[in-house]
Amino acid sequence: MVRVQPELAKSVSFAHFNLLANEWALPGPFDAIFCRNVMIYLDKETQEKILRRFVPLLKPSGLLFTGHFENFS
Ligand SMILES: C[S@@+](CC[C@H](N)C(=O)[O-])C[C@H]1O[C@@H](n2cnc3c(N)ncnc32)[C@H](O)[C@@H]1O
């Protein structure tokens, strides 16, 4: 139903990625991180560890997009 414009698709790469892995081979920093409807499966302590690991991967004005039901109080 939806197709990404070729100009945008050229800058997108898809790969398997485990949030629980000790090492994240990600280039960063990113303008945005989309992590939607994934953290809901993890306990609060693990969620906090992952959120802290996101911080240096985001540019200072970068945005984190999460799911509607995720609550990082
Ligand atoms: C409910 S789906 C959400 C998919 C998509 N993000 C969305 O919002 O439509 C949950 C996703 O979490 C992924 N997931 C679960 N544990 C994960 C982990 N440790 N690391 C990375 N992804 C994980 C699953 O593979 C699945 O694709």
Q: How far is CA 3 from the centre of its chain?
A: 21
Give the 3-state secondary structure of residue 65.
Answer: strand
pLDDT for 14: 81
The DSSP code for 32 is E
pLDDT for 28: 85
pLDDT for 20: 96
Q: Which two tokens stand for residue 65?
A: 């997009």
Q: Which two tokens stand for residue 40?
A: 């809901």
Q: How far apart are CA 16 and CA 28, in angstroms?
A: 16
Ligand 1 pocket residue status of 17, Cβ below 6 Å: yes
Mutation choice for ligand 1 from 38, 39, 49, 54, CB with most ligand atoms inside 8 A? 38
Dihedral Cα 59, 63, 65, 69, nearest 10 deg: 120
- Per residue in 17-63, pLDDT (tens digit) is 899 999 999 888 999 999 999 999 999 999 999 999 999 999 999 99
Regarding predicted confidence, which is higher, 67 or 11?
67
pLDDT for residue 15 is more than 90? no
Ligand 1 pocket residue status of 35, Cβ below 6 Å: no
